[in-house]
Amino acid sequence: MAQATRVMITGVNGLLGIALCRVFQNNEVIPLTHADIEITNLDSVKQVLNNYQPGVVLNAAAFTNVDDCEADKDKAFQVNAIGARNLAVACQESETKLVHFSTNYVFGGEPESLSIPFTEFDTPVPVNIYGKSKLAGEELVQQFCLKHFMVRTSGLFGIAGTSGKGINFLDTMIRLSQERDELNVVNDQFLSFTYNADLAEKIAELIKTEYYGVFHITNKGSCSWYEFAREILSLYGSKTPVTPITSDEYPQKAKRPNFSVLDNYHLRLLKIDELRPWQEALKDYLANKGIL
């Protein structure tokens, strides 16, 4: 069995990868970029795992641009589905724990409009190519790797590091509030928001267990993008007005779910503490950035 303290992290330049590297900095971390591992190539994945022999693999590598996924379906499935399968196969062969990250966008295509948060035991119905490719990745991980933690999260924000990557909605709102006289933000898409630092801390706690399976991990509470934007700018002290609009007034290549709020039900069943409310996490993030 590989060393339990050796943590391999893929996608380290992304918003989630950066946070995971910080949380596991006292462990022996193997940070991998796309230049270090080609997850769509099974031989590459097996070779890297054989070279480093990690105790756990945290797969934060993904093709996450929702509109680009719609335009390039093949790449979406190659990275989000085939890449996930390759890691699952290699981890199963080496008896390595695998944490695979997925998304709230596996939901949202239900025939009826819903308002009850989705649990880990609800059946996913994705509405776009990104969601479909991530759901395919989930199913392949579950099929090929016994020791897996499937972690769905959503609305990720947080410290992005100095690389310039991992820019998120929150940073965009602050920048636009300085450049424009008014902001228009959709008010008919509801989801849970998640501070990357909080998520990473919970992952560090979860992998010490053998509670394998699907987990929703987000900060408590939910709101629309409009409500989130208003809270951001209120804390920031911006006077720039924010106007609610519908998704139809902000057309995009890929359809977004109107409701994809995640319920952290599995954590509660296991009596594991959930993350704090998103409002508290947001204040902490802005304080860490030196804004508050």
119 by Cβ neighbours in 10 Å (0-12 / 13-18 / 19+) ranks as middle
Pure H helices in 53-156: 66-71, 73-77, 83-94, 129-144
In the set 105, 130, 195, 285, the catalytic residue is 130
Q: Give residue 164's Cα distance to chain centre.
A: 18
Contact criterion met (CB below 8 Å) for 265 and 256: no
User: For this structure, is 212 an active site residue?
Assistant: no
Nearest to 193 by CA among 271, 273, 104: 104
Question: What does the alpha-carbon distance between residue 228 and residue 20 come to, in Å, rounded to a whole number?
Answer: 24
Q: Which residues contact 245 (CB under 8 A, 6 or more apart)?
A: 184, 185, 186, 187, 226
Question: What does the alpha-carbon distance between residue 292 and residue 289 come to, in Å, rounded to a whole number?
Answer: 8
Nearest to 154 by CA among 190, 100, 208, 128: 190
Tokens of 165: 């990557």
Give me the phi and psi of 224, to 5 degrees please.
-85, 170
The CA-atom distances, in angstroms, between 76 and each of 5, 72, 82 are 32, 6, 9
Catalytic residue numbers read: 130
